[in-house]
Amino acid sequence: MTLLKPEEVLPHRPPFLFVDEILEIVPGESATAIWRLSGSEAFFTGHFPNRPTLPGVLMCEAIAQVGALAVLTDERYEGKLPLFGGINRARFRRQVVPGDTLTIEVQMTRLSARAGKGEGQASVGNELAASCELMFVIVDGA
């Protein structure tokens, strides 16, 4: 099976697309993807000028986008859009800096016609950088 490009599945576009490459998708169940941080991203100039650091909230957004890959490749959700409903148990364990590559893994723990939950983590190499639980609602897409 040929893997899709993130922009073929997700409605996000730069500068708010935080997935560069899809490694694996099991529709409706899980997804794994990569986000490569070049250092040219605009947020690094202000967060922080002398010590560029990826904001934790953007790691949570990247985890959500990878979760959306798992949802949107499930034929039951064709034409739909998963929207954040909440984040629980977000933890940040490692600073992520320009040049790092995040490997993001998400497992869906519950999916229904209108909502779902998932658990995800982002790692740099073998080091956990962030983890969180996601809640989302599923609405009609544009």
A 10 A CB-CB count for 130 gives 25
- H or E stretch covering 124: strand 115-124
Catalytic residue selected from 17, 27, 41, 47? 47
Longest dimension (CA), the chain: 47
- Is residue 12 annotated as a catalytic residue, yes or no? no
Query: How far is residue 141's CA from residue 43's CA, in Å, rounded to a whole number?
Result: 28
DSSP 8-state class, residue 78: T
Query: How far is residue 138's CA from residue 84's CA, in Å, rounded to a whole number?
Result: 9
Residues known to be catalytic = 47
